[in-house]
Amino acid sequence: MKIRIDKEACVGNARCAAISEVLYPLDDDGYISVTEVDVPAGMESLAKRGARSCPERVITIVEDDQ
């Protein structure tokens, strides 16, 4: 599973980072600092929760079979 993020559309709500700072690291200004993350085994649920928490819907979950 991968997380893909439209970093340019992030407005800095940081709701994703509140779910998991490991999967959704923020820069010094409070915006998402990555555009893609390989989700470690066992963190799939946190990845999906973080994506759902984004009010702008800039986070996409890509399953391994896609």
Query: Which CATH number belongs to the domain containing residue 53 in this structure?
Result: 3.30.70.20
| pLDDT score, position 66 | 54
| pLDDT score, position 64 | 83
Both tokens of residue 8? Answer: 């340019």
| pLDDT score, position 15 | 97
More confident site: 66 or 14: 14
Residue 21 domain boundaries = 2-62
Structural domain count of the chain: 1
Q: What is the pLDDT of residues 1-53, one digit of tens each?
A: 999 999 999 999 999 999 999 999 999 999 999 999 999 999 999 999 999 99
CA–CA–CA angle 31, 35, 36 (5° rounding): 130
Mean pLDDT of 60-64: 94
DSSP 3-state of 27: coil
